[in-house]
Structure 1
Amino acid sequence: MLRRLYDWTMSLAARKSAEVWLAVIAFVESSVFLVPADVLFLPMALAKPERSYRYALVATIASVLGGIAGWTLGYYAYDAVARPVLEFYGKLDAFEHLRLYIHDEWEILLLLLVTSGFAHLPPIKIVTILAGVIHMNLWFFVVSAIIARGARFLVLAWLLRRYGEPIRHFIEKRLGQIAAVIAAILIALGLAYKLLAP
């Protein structure tokens, strides 16, 4: 099923309505969809590099709005809607594991800015729903989401404009790993600070 979703999403990049589909995919990725918006964003930005920053803006706005939808599901409809969605994608265990350890907004911010924003670890929908479940301040969440998602799409747009097709393989294979390592270091530093702080 995942492969079919991926292939279908890739096919949208060639359509005249690709920009609309980018907004739709970025929106639902942040709340209920499994395939990241990068799958559509990368071929679109490569095909029309002069529009890459425009695409980054579209993806950022839609992703933040989708994040608000995820937050709303977590805040108001976790048992009725969000939990079945997480179960459907096999992400409920990962969500519940995070829920045990995440108790304040700064930990959510760290996850959102670094791991989900740049490396999709955990998937952004888990973080947005969790932010709603723990009743994270909505405005704080929105600002965090703008920084996280905006930075990701703008960095991707810059890389694609500067280096073109050769950088695509690096982005697809290595960028997530590098971001995950940086995220792990930052999380470890945050936990160490929390444990050692008086």
Structure 2
Amino acid sequence: MLRRLYDWTMSLAARKSAEVWLAFIAFVESSVFVVPADVLYLPMALARPERAYRYALVATIFSVLGGIAGWFLGHYAYEALAKPVLEFYGKLDAFEQMRGSTSADMILLLLITSGLAHLPPMKIVTILSGAANVNIWLFIVSAVITRGARFFFLAWLLRRYGEPIRHFIEKRLGLIAAAAAAVLILLYAILHYYSS
């Protein structure tokens, strides 16, 4: 099923309506969809490098809007809507455990790592943020910064290095993003240690 979704998403990059699909995928990826917007964004930006930053802006805006929808889903409709979505993806038990034991600071850190590296998946963190009553404005600012940093960094790489960087990104993006997330976690731990 995941492979079919991936192939379908890749096929959207060749359509005239690709930008609309990018907005749609970026929106639903942040609250309910499995495939990240990157799989559509990358081929679109490579096909039209002069629009890489425009596509990054579209992906950022709609990813943040989707994140806000996920926050509202977790905050106002957890039992009725969010719980069945998490159950469908087999993430309900892990979510419930995180929900019961995670502080607001940790959720903010998860939002940063998720926004930059999809660790954990964005939809989990957006719903968790709403269910745990994380301040909506702090959530929005964090989502704008992290999602924007991800998409605009990809745009910069693609504009500067073109096709060769695509293969590098596709093979190592998870590793690069995980390393960046690890550095952020380490910085947070150091700051938290010295502030207490």
State the TM-score, normalizing by the size of structure 2: 0.93
The residue aligned with 2:110 is 111
After TM superposition, the structure 1 = structure 2 runs for residues 129-148 of structure 1, keeping only pairs within 5 Å, are 129-148=127-146
Deviation, 1:96, is 2.7
In structure 2, C-alpha distance between the alignment counterparts of 1:186 and 1:194, rounded to whole Å: 12
Contact kept, 8 Å, 1:118 with 1:152, in 2: the verdict is yes
* 1:21 and 2:21 matched: yes
Q: Where does residue 128 of structure 1 map in the other structure? A: 126
| Structure 2 unaligned blocks of 5 or more | none
Do residues 174 (structure 1) and 172 (structure 2) align?
yes
Q: What is the match of residue 47 of structure 2?
A: 47
Verify: 1:101 aligned to 2:95, yes or no.
no
Whole-Å separation in 2 of the counterparts to 1:20 and 1:128: 22
Distance 1:67 1:174 in 2: 25
Aligned length: 196
What's the C-alpha RMSD, in Å, of the aligned pairs? 1.6
CA deviations 1:72-121 (Å, max 9, x no partner) are: 000011111111111111222332343243211x32222222x2112111
SS of 1:31's partner is coil
Q: Structure 1: any 5+ residue segments left out of the alignment?
A: none
TM-score of the superposition, structure 1-length normalised? Answer: 0.92
Going from structure 1 to structure 2, the CA distance change for 1:166 and 1:97 (only over 3 Å counts) comes to: farther
Q: Kindly indicate whether residue 48 of structure 2 is the aligned counterpart of residue 37 of structure 1.
A: no
CA contact under 8 A between 1:72 and 1:129: conserved in structure 2? yes
Contact 1:118/1:176 (8 A) holds in 2: no
Q: CA deviation at 1:192?
A: 5.7
